[in-house]
Chains A and B, each alone.
Chain A
Amino acid sequence: MSTYSLSDGIASGAPRLSRAPVLASWLRESGVGVLAGVAWIAFGLSCLWWEDLGDWSRTHSLGIAAFIVAAIALFGTVGADYLGSAGKALRQRAPWLVALGAFLTLWEVATAKFAWLPLPFFPPPQSIIEVYTDDLPKLLDSVFASVKLQLGGYLIGATVGFLTGVSIGWSRAVGYWVHPVLRFIGPLPATAWLPIAFFTFPSSWSASTFLIALATGFPVTVLTWSGVASVSNAYYDVARTLGAKPSFLVLKVAIPAALPHVFVGLFMGLGSSFAVLVVAEMIGVKAGLGWYLQWAQGWAAYANMYAALIVMALLCSGAITLLFAIRDRLLVWQKGTVKW
């Protein structure tokens, strides 16, 4: 952009100014949104223009849906000023809509239309949609089973880990006995217990719950413990001079002070428990998304695998988002001091 001096504008630029900048600023604000519309129209066209190479029943609906998204993007962009926060949100996400539309177009063309990527290993988008519509009950059952198993194991692991961590951090005697055990067993990946767990526990469900709890418990214990151990003595001194009893020191000083560490542990535990969940479902449990993946592979139903993977990704990121939301609520006091 060239430098612009005031006198130029008054002398000669005035008539030129009136149109071009308005258009330029409109393009700057809405150009990406229009591009998003174009990308999704391209996706819709790519669905409908050529014949499918295979036999997929949702191609037509997918094309229509793409046009609907395109229409929403276009109208949303044009009318963004009248849509308030929704329009603003759309404008903010427009670059992602462009990328997504372009990716889907490429995917559609590369699989269903010209098979640049070998079928059936790379199913087109419409076959994944087909899984969601036609195999929904089974998929939902799997989601439900996975969530139940994960939630039970995670809650048990997190609770036991938290209590153990606080006890080791607080009591020297507990630390003396538990610490070496933790040192010895903790670093072992929970999946290493799988063969033993599956024949020592009465059911594969209880065995998996145990393994998930184990995978969650270790990081939660270690981080809670280090959190409690690193609480400044000054806090205890203050509380003691104000008449605090030991229970007050634990509940109202040690635990709240250690909470940021505890959440790091909960976060790490969540990650490692996902890994155990999927492995346990693939090997022993006869339900859940891991099992669904395994089952789909057995039938060479690749679209089902991708569909299940996408659901799994949504669930895992949803769980982490939920954990972060809880953390932000409990640790409002950290706002502006610590970020991780």
Chain B
Amino acid sequence: MVTALAEIATPPAAGAALDIEQVSHAFDIDGAELPVLSDVSLSVEPGEFVALLGPSGCGKSTLLRLVAGLDKPKAGTLREDEVRIARPHPSRVVVFQDPTLFPWRTVWDNVALGLEAQGVLKSQRHRVDDALDLVGLSDFRTAYPHQLSGGMAQRVALARALVNDPKILILDEPLGKLDSLTRITMQAELVSLWQRKGFTTLLVTHDAEEALVLANRVIVFSDRPARVKADIRVDRPYPRHRGDPYLADLRRQILGLLGLDATW
């Protein structure tokens, strides 16, 4: 259903399917092994918007790094469209919690980074302009990152990701450090970008409301080592309303799963 819609909206650059099969991962800290993911399995359909929700430090971000191909899992496999993920690829782009723009590059050059790294910038400069238009920062193309506000910097980071036409967009709490007003605006922008482009989206967040406003599916993780605790479908049309009683009900359920029901 979702796939069909996405295909109609944007025929060429639709999202990819993501299969996470029995993935476990651990960190070595001073010789001791600290398990962070334990037997996580998850199937994401092309074009889905999946939010990963869990207590802070539970290993969600680690899972994203595995999906991006930045780290290799200790056990299990991850596949993008049936192809095993072994290393980073521009079809899976990450937007981190910090914008991590390169301070020595202008906004335009930052957005151009991916095309430049892939060696196609010369013939495709217009894609950089388009991406900047998409996030509404065309007027700032010659600015340096230190001249931007937090929200603008995060928008540039988003443009830097989108310019690659990713099949899977990986968002690691990208709105976590923004003020609440900027946050609400950017949530709406994220949804409309996702609807227009049709990429598969993975969003790590620890804000249940954000997850429910944005995602088709909310995966709730347990405390470390992270296991999938619940897989909740959010069948509500966009744009969603924060006061929607259906969402409020789901939110109560989710907070209950996270052990925070006493506060409500």
Enumerate chain A interface residues (CB-CB to B < 8 A). Answer: 232, 234-235, 237-245, 248, 252-253, 256-257, 259, 331-337
Are A237's CB and B93's CB within 8 A?
A: no
A227 to B160 CA separation, bound complex (whole angstroms): 25
Would you list 17 pairs from A and B whose C-beta atoms are within 8 A, ordered by A residue? A234-B96, A237-B96, A237-B100, A238-B94, A238-B100, A241-B69, A243-B90, A243-B118, A243-B164, A245-B117, A248-B116, A248-B117, A253-B102, A259-B104, A333-B103, A335-B144, A336-B146
Are A256's CB and B102's CB within 8 A?
A: yes
- For residue B39, CB closer than 8 A to chain A, the reply is no
* Known pairs A235-B102, A253-B102, A336-B147 / 11 extra A-B pairs, C-beta < 8 Å: A232-B100, A234-B100, A237-B100, A239-B117, A241-B68, A242-B114, A242-B160, A243-B88, A248-B116, A259-B104, A335-B144
- List residues of chain A with CB within 8 A of the CB of B164: 242-243
What mask results when residues 100 to 141 of chain B are scored 1 for a CB within 8 Å of chain A, else 0?
A: 101111100000011011100000000000000000000000
**Shortest beta-carbon distance from A243 to chain B in Å:** 4
Enumerate chain B interface residues (CB-CB to A < 8 A). Answer: 68-70, 88-90, 92-94, 96, 98, 100, 102-106, 113-114, 116-118, 144-147, 160, 164
- List residues of chain B with CB within 8 A of the CB of A248: 116-117
Are A243's CB and B144's CB within 8 A?
A: no
**Shortest beta-carbon distance from B228 to chain A in Å:** 24
Are A242's CB and B113's CB within 8 A?
A: yes
A331 to B103 CA separation, bound complex (whole angstroms): 10
Residue of A nearest to B163 (CB): A242
**Shortest beta-carbon distance from B136 to chain A in Å:** 22
Contact of B90 among A241, A253, A334 (CB under 8 A): A241
A234 to B96 CA separation, bound complex (whole angstroms): 9
- List residues of chain A with CB within 8 A of the CB of B160: 238, 242
**Shortest beta-carbon distance from A96 to chain B in Å:** 35
Leading 6 A-B pairs by shortest Cβ distance: A242-B114, A244-B117, A243-B90, A240-B88, A243-B118, A234-B100
Are A337's CB and B103's CB within 8 A?
A: yes
Residue of B nearest to A242 (CB): B114
Residue of B nearest to A248 (CB): B117
Residue of A nearest to B103 (CB): A333
Are B93's CB and A241's CB within 8 A?
A: yes
A328 to B70 CA separation, bound complex (whole angstroms): 35
Residue of A nearest to B70 (CB): A237
- List residues of chain B with CB within 8 A of the CB of A335: 144
Instruction: Report which residue of A235, A243, A253 has the largest number of chain B beta carbons within 10 angstroms of its beta carbon.
Output: A243
Are A243's CB and B89's CB within 8 A?
A: yes
Are B100's CB and A242's CB within 8 A?
A: no
**Shortest beta-carbon distance from B113 to chain A in Å:** 5
A185 to B106 CA separation, bound complex (whole angstroms): 40
**Shortest beta-carbon distance from B59 to chain A in Å:** 17
Are B94's CB and A257's CB within 8 A?
A: no
A337 to B103 CA separation, bound complex (whole angstroms): 10
**Shortest beta-carbon distance from A251 to chain B in Å:** 11
**Shortest beta-carbon distance from B23 to chain A in Å:** 19
Given A333-B103, A333-B104, A333-B144, CB of A237 within 8 Å of CB of B117: no
